[in-house]
Homo-oligomer: A and B are copies of this chain.
């Protein structure tokens, strides 16, 4: 009798666990379905097909709207809330996004050019700022950009990015540290080999060879292209690995889970592609 009862209990427990698994699976997928993922893709593609078919001109009038709209590029503040003056003391980077000329001029502090490259959305810095997540993923906006590990990476790159003692004894271990860059996970948790999956962007931060090979080696090879270099020896500011450690994605504090290819960003870049005209 006891045996049978315990068997039944075991059956029941298995059932309960199975149910909970099923229930949680449904729950996880439910909001996605509710948000109409496919529909969203559908309406985005539909609009962009029309824009291409008619070669529709994106007007500055519309860009002005996007700059003033809360949540325009994902959940976050409107651009002009903070970027509304060319005075770097009153507006971050002295970037004024409230006028067309202000957008085109970009930041007025010293260290930026090509914020907008008319005719070249992909090559414009505004794309990088609105799209690239600071690493490690989820690191807080107010995390200092001059953490010891970050400064070390910068100096090492500017000194020539050699496979030297600094790299082996300091840099490589920092890629393994969950906290060296201010976040809660190490670089190598996501970038551990030149294969994706499991390694994001086919980037291997476990060795000098992997780092210097760069990102997306296999994917780019299929297109007959070289890998994407992430270290430019001698030039930290041009090195993607350094950019990702110090540049917060805008708007401030936006969740890295927000769509990097937000339809409004696509529209903004199309306006740049079309010449970033102000009239």
B-contacting residues, A14-35, CB 8 Å: 15-16, 18-20, 22-24, 26-28, 30-31, 34
Among candidates B28, B43, B70, residue contacting A251 with C-beta atoms closer than 8 Å: B43
Q: Are B253 and A54 in contact (CB under 8 A)?
A: no
Among candidates B19, B31, B49, B255, residue contacting A43 with C-beta atoms closer than 8 Å: B255
B-contacting residues, A22-57, CB 8 Å: 22-24, 26-28, 30-31, 34, 36, 39-40, 42-47, 49-51, 54-57
By secondary structure, the A interface counts as helix
A89: B residues at CB distance < 8 A: 54
- The CA of A254 and the CA of B44, in the complex, are separated in Å by 9
A interface with B by C-beta (< 8 Å): 1, 4-5, 8-9, 11-12, 15-16, 18-20, 22-24, 26-28, 30-31, 34, 36, 39-40, 42-47, 49-51, 54-59, 61-62, 65, 68-70, 72, 75-78, 80-82, 84-85, 89-92, 98, 140-142, 251-255, 257, 263-264, 267
